[in-house]
Amino acid sequence: MKEASTLRKVVISSTFATGIFLAAPQMADAALGDQTLRTGMSHPDVKELQDALKSKGHFNFERSTGYYGQITADAVRDFQRKNNLQVDGIAGPQTLSALLAKMGGQASSSSSSSSQASTSISSNLLRFGSSGRDVEQLQHKLKEQGYYKHSITGQYGRVTEAAVRDFQRAKGIQVDGIVGPQTLSQLLNEPLPSNNTVTTERNVTQTANTVVQAPASSNLLRVGNSGSAVRNLQSQLRSVGVFNQEPTGYFGEVTARAVREFQRIHNLSVDGVAGPQTMNKLSQVATNQSSSNNVSSSSSSSNQTAEPSRGTTNRAALMTNLVADGANYVGVPYLWGGQTPSGFDCSGLVQYLFKKQGVSIPRTVAQQWAAGTTVSQPAVGDLVFFETISKGPSHNGIYIGNGQFLHSGSSTGVTVASMNNSYWKSRYLGAKRL
């Protein structure tokens, strides 16, 4: 019952401290073990598999990609070989059970001592994006009652939130996916504290959904804000092709999704919050520059609806839209000669994405190299070329900014890679602008 007491203390103290928690998502729950994973698959579970294999020294690629290619299959074979399993490169029930058993041994050690739990008390309600020992305890409690059926991760992501919602629905209480006093009372089968300063989930949800007028000087825009600053933000997002409706001046989930998409494209922290980094990058690439000045100075135009520039067909918009489209194909497998979403080779991906923007370019790497104009430093949308399997340009991708490029690699499928990676840096030939 000590764990229950600690968990109860966490939520109640958090309510006194803040009353509300507006957190950005950090990591989805691991659901590794739910399905067999094999070559050609692209799925969040594959990323979890790669992370687990990497922690055990079997997966040596620079980053987990979520795509099950040859490198992942080799890592699985290595794990199977060293654990006396059938060596087939497929992460089936036996392999996943063995891997999860090893990972579970580590996880359990971090949560076995309930006496230390009080030292990691959170200052916020437990909800999507929370992490730590308190979330581990929550998952244990939900698992005991049959609502959470996955490994204990300490990460409050999509699986944990769904379990909380199922629990709330079954108990006939507010279904919001937030663990506050009312949910905790039902979970621990204890009476709700009588102290009238404790806020229920319903209060929290109502507060979270209240429209907050964003002050003109605010340097942070997020869900719930409204006003001319938000309208300008939406107009800028629209000009780069990630917000597909008229600006409303209200920052809701549609706007948050657009912000997250923009952040993904430009390799920023993906949290759906328009903070200084996001706004600075947006001001650099937005095509409606008349309204892309500092958002904080937009209060004087609060009665005007910012419209996207008529020049959205210029190169900046074209390249940004091209990169935005490219992000939709991350995880598509590599296919020699492939030029459709069923599979791409490197130049096939480049040609396909340009064609979607109405631009016809040559098919092969060598032809694309010859057709472009050499630039000393690549800008977003320029092609970057590498010498890999033969003398001269034999591989290419699309530069997306911040030293990153989108490409279809033979071992990764469509993915984003760093030009500073030792492999690509040593093989870089140059950049071309089409």
Question: How far apart, in whole angstroms, are the C-alpha atoms of residue 407 and residue 428?
Answer: 14
- Would you state the pLDDT for residue 406? 93
* Residue 121 pLDDT exceeds 60: no
Both tokens of residue 431? 């950049």
Question: How far apart, in whole angstroms, are the C-alpha atoms of residue 49 and residue 111?
Answer: 22
* Secondary structure (3-state) at 36: coil
Do β-strands 383-386 and 343-344 pair in parallel, antiparallel, or remain unpaired? unpaired
Active site residue 150: no
* Residue 362 pLDDT exceeds 60: yes
Both tokens of residue 37? 């994973």
Active site residue 346: yes
Q: What is the pLDDT of residues 90-115, one digit of tens each?
A: 988 888 878 887 775 343 333 333 33
Most confidently predicted of 5-14, 193-202, 303-312, 320-329? 320-329
- The fold of 318-433 is endopeptidase fold (from Nostoc punctiforme) (3.90.1720)
CATH 1.10.101.10-classified regions of the chain: 2-28+111-208, 212-312
* Secondary structure (3-state) at 301: helix
Centroid of chain to Cα 229 = 25
Q: What is the pLDDT of residues 308-360, one digit of tens each?
A: 333 333 576 677 778 877 888 888 899 999 999 999 999 999 999 999 888 89
Q: Could you tell me where the beta strands, DSSP code E, fall in 334-434?
A: 339-340, 343-344, 373-375, 383-386, 395-401, 404-409, 413-418, 428-433
Q: Which residues contact 356 (CB under 8 A, 6 or more apart)?
A: 322, 325
Predicted TM-score of the model (pTM): 0.36
Catalytic residue among 58, 150, 266, 395: 395
Give the pLDDT mean for 147-169: 82
Q: What is the pLDDT of residues 39-83, one digit of tens each?
A: 877 777 888 888 889 888 898 887 788 788 888 888 999 998 998
Residue-level length of the chain: 434
State phi, psi for 417 to the nearest 5 degrees: -130, 160
- The fold of 2-28+111-208 is Muramoyl-pentapeptide Carboxypeptidase; domain 1 (1.10.101)
Superfamily of domain 212-312: PGBD-like superfamily/PGBD (1.10.101.10)
* Residue 184 pLDDT exceeds 70: yes
Centroid of chain to Cα 85 = 33
Question: How far apart, in whole angstroms, are the C-alpha atoms of residue 93 and residue 126?
Answer: 32
- Would you state the pLDDT for residue 285? 77
Give the pLDDT mean for 365-391: 92
